Structure 1
């Protein structure tokens, strides 16, 4: 090997190293934006926080880099094959943070945030720093503004109210009058007998911003109600 070939080989090696360093930086940047998105979730004590979002973003960026640049030696390869699987594959993480309790669903926003964070990582992994960075900031802004601004943040929510009483007729009449006055919709009613009296299970849709704890406290002080929870 002559001096020219040695010089060309050294240049190619340095170029490849610099090239791969640039791709690695994309993964780091994706992790930073994922961390910022996760910080907003962590500040609200959600299940998926900074580490989860950072890893999702870096993983998506890594897979995007491999998908787009890892098969340059193969002619006519499909760079979208791996990338397309990220969108569907990230669903298992989202499913892990969604909980259903008493007909009330929680964790949907965090699950959607994880899915969107994967998109941020994909964009940065593909080299679209502006799109990925802008999308992450927009995502953080959306989560903050729709949570903290009262008229935007509040929305109707479901809950189950369980009451046991030995004065069924009077209690059910006054209870439904309260629902009508406070614009609470009754979606379903289950009534059964127990040794203490009549047991009611009400599936309710509360209006935006309604404090159901006040309703529970009010009726727990009623001597005709043996037990109430929701």
Structure 2
């Protein structure tokens, strides 16, 4: 977008900056400056930080880019506008392709219900101990007079965005003697 705005300013630099009956003089180099500051300010408002994640950068960049494309078409530089549009579509598509293949943060809540004769808490933790997964919290519910125990933990891991399968070591929990229920609840982002 910055390159397009400078190319547009250079193409329009030869435009007569002042008509004989006007006191206003055009300065074409103010065009990229105005775009950079004005749309940069608006784009900054589209960027949000939430729970340690930053969102809206693509939206901010697209707002800025489309402003420049609009100026190209508005100034009558159709070829430059079309070239910029194609370059922008290619760039966003290529980055989306790359982003889908990068690992992203995943979180899930795991609830395990056992009988009193089921595996002890340490064995459950050991089964969940996996280099790819981090237990971020662990809770236990022991009911007096009830033979049932309930363990709840929060897990965090990095994997490709489209990887939504239940991990094998979590599925293995249901095979343990005394485990009556395993509930896996991934958090959506």
Could you tell me the TM-score, scaled by structure 2's length?
0.54
1:170 is aligned to: 123
How many correspondences in the alignment?
150
Deviation of 1:139 after TM superposition, in Å, equals 1.7
Question: Which of 135, 140, 154 does residue 201 from structure 1 map onto?
Answer: 154
Matches of 1:185 and 1:119 in 2, distance apart? 44
Determine which of 130, 136, 157 is the counterpart of 1:189: 136
- Higher percent of residues as helix: 1
Report SS of the residue matched to 2:165. helix
CA contact (8 A) 2:173 2:182 kept: no
Q: What secondary structure does 1:132 align onto?
A: helix
* Unaligned runs of at least 5 residues, structure 1: 1-67
Structure 2 unaligned residues grouped into runs of 5+: 1-14, 114-118, 143-148
Q: How large is the RMSD of aligned CA atoms in angstroms? A: 4.2
Residue 107 of structure 2 corresponds to residue 155 of structure 1: no
Deviation readout 1:81-124 (Å, 9 max, x if unpaired): 643443224316734xx6857x6666554443333222322444
- Going from structure 1 to structure 2, the CA distance change for 1:170 and 1:115 (only over 3 Å counts) comes to farther
1:132 to 81, 85, 104: 81
C-alpha contact (below 8 Å) 2:39/2:64 kept by paired residues: yes
Report deviation, 1:154. 0.5
Q: 1:229 aligns with which of 173, 185, 189?
A: 185
TM-score of the aligned structures, taking structure 1 as reference length = 0.46
